[in-house]
């Protein structure tokens, strides 16, 4: 499988290339934004590892350029910028996931495998679980045709769960995905947001969509008939 690593720091690029090649991946390196766009458009890759801080064109611009051009190869952003607005901006512009530096190489490999399994995805496609529908493009959520008003954090929490419909997401993975690796977010903060989210999407007495898996985390799926 071919991966495109977009990283301007030579030492980091070399480390990623060596580690990924040892895992059996074929790795190409782009050292700046324009080179990344050119290589991604000219060749077929299974995944793009995209740094945000790049010369010539930053990672946000690269992701936006590729998505506007119809390129749907999964993008995993590598970034030291772990502030929530940066994460949200990257996801909104078309990135599929992100890992903050410094990161565990094992976690990075797991994220790569997960994104490759999902394959190219169109972020304009609406997500559905039962009668709950989420439109990533318009940021609109409806349940049974009724609009559900969510905060930005609630929206991204729900989107992350719905994109992985039926998959149990561990609590620490959810916290990292929504708030960032280095953010000091307590587990009870996640619980509080899940309660708020449930009150909005399940508050009218409809079937449960967000389920707790005790000791592990949460999963979005239709409630099984009793």
**Helices 152-163, 84-92: inter-axial angle, 10-degree rounding:** 50
Q: Residue ranges of the domains in the chain? A: 2-118, 127-220
Q: CA–CA separation, 23 vs 52, rounded Å? A: 24
pTM higher than 0.75, yes or no? no
pLDDT at 120: 63
pLDDT tens sequence for the chain (226 residues): 789 999 999 999 999 999 999 998 889 999 999 999 999 887 888 899 999 889 999 999 999 888 887 788 899 988 776 666 777 777 777 788 888 888 889 989 988 988 887 766 554 578 899 999 998 777 799 998 899 998 878 888 898 899 888 888 888 878 877 765 445 677 788 899 999 999 999 876 778 899 999 989 999 998 764 4
Q: Which CATH number fits domain 2-118: 3.40.47.10, 3.40.50.2300, 3.40.50.300, 3.30.70.100?
A: 3.40.50.2300
Same-fold call for 2-118 versus 127-220: no
What's the residue count for the chain?
Answer: 226
Between the alpha carbon of residue 204 and those of residues 65, 118, 162, 199, the distances in Å are 41, 32, 20, 8
Q: Which CATH number fits domain 127-220: 3.40.50.300, 1.10.10.10, 3.30.70.120, 3.50.50.60?
A: 1.10.10.10
* Whole-angstrom Cα Rg for the chain: 18
At 47, list the tokens: 């995944």
């Amino acid at each position: 499988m071919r991966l495109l690593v977009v990283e301007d720091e030579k030492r980091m690029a070399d480390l990623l290339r060596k580690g990924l090649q040892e895992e059996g991946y074929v790795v190409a390196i782009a050292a700046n934004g324009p080179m990344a766009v050119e290589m991604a458009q000219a060749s077929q890759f299974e995944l793009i590892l995209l740094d945000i801080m790049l010369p010539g064109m930053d990672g946000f611009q690269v992701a936006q350029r590729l998505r506007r051009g119809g390129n749907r190869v999964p993008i995993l952003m590598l970034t030291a910028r772990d502030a929530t607005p940066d994460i949200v901006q990257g996801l909104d512009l078309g990135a599929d996931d992100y890992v903050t530096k410094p990161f565990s190489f094992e976690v990075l490999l797991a994220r790569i495998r997960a994104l490759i399994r999902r394959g190219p995805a169109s972020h304009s496609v609406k997500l559905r679980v039962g009668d709950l529908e989420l439109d990533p493009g318009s940021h609109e959520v409806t349940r049974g045709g009724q609009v559900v008003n969510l905060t930005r954090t609630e929206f991204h929490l729900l989107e992350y769960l719905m994109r992985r419909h039926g998959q149990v997401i561990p609590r620490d993975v959810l916290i990292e995905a929504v708030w960032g690796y280095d953010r000091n977010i307590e587990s009870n903060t996640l619980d509080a947001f899940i309660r708020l989210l449930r009150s909005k999407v399940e508050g009218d007495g409809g079937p449960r969509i967000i389920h707790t898996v005790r000791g592990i985390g949460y999963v979005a799926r239709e409630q099984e008939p009793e």
